[in-house]
Amino acid sequence: MKPTVYVINGPNLNLLGNREPEKYGRATLADVEALCRTAGERHGFEIVFRQSNHEGELVSWIQEAGRAGAAGIVLNAAAYTHTSVAILDAIAAITLPVIEVHLTNIHAREPFRRTSYVSQVAKGVICGLGPQGYGLAIAGLAGLAGQETRT
């Protein structure tokens, strides 16, 4: 059985591609999911892809990934990145690597976006590269897991 990577997306990311394309681009969340599945195939991972607008649901999925013994989590917690001690605590309570991803460069935007609770407990952080950041995060998890990659 292939190891699993959870890709977890936070609030409003369901709107991707339909609103504010100048900020977040034209790719939809379905496009991001397809990109993740392609990267998963390349790196030998099963992909569980989720999105929620609810903080507690994100916390439950982080716990689920921990219980399931996943290879890692790719997490775009969206606005909860900057506010959620609950998500920080959930990540701190599991041992799997979490790669924090943002479509935009959160350091080049409003000052409040420079604070990330997720970064304090993430193994790595990728931001500003758009949807390809998700693929790079999956490649990073493959490297950490010593996973064979298809050329």
When asked if residue 136 is in the footprint of ligand CA2 (CB under 6 A), the reply is no
Residues 5, 7, 8, 13: which binds ligand CA2 (CB under 6 A)? 13
Residues 6+ positions from 52 with CB-CB distance below 8 Å: 9, 10, 11, 58, 61
Beta-strand runs (E) in 10-142: 46-51, 72-76, 98-102, 124-127
When asked if residue 116 is in the footprint of ligand CA2 (CB under 6 A), the reply is no
When asked if residue 134 is in the footprint of ligand CA2 (CB under 6 A), the reply is no
Query: Taking CA 44 as the corner, what is the angle to CA 39 and CA 125, rounded to the nearest 5 degrees?
Result: 50
Known catalytic residue: 24?
A: yes
In this structure, which amino acid lies at residue 141? L
When asked if residue 5 is in the footprint of ligand CA2 (CB under 6 A), the reply is no
x/- mask, ligand CA2, residues 22-51, rule CB under 6 A, reads --x---------------------------
Are 62 and 90 within 8 A, CB to CB? yes
End-to-end Cα spacing for the chain: 21
Residues 79, 86, 125, 144: which binds ligand CA2 (CB under 6 A)? 79
Point out which residues bind ligand CA2 (CB under 6 A): 12-13, 15-16, 19-20, 24, 76, 78-79, 81, 102-104, 106, 113
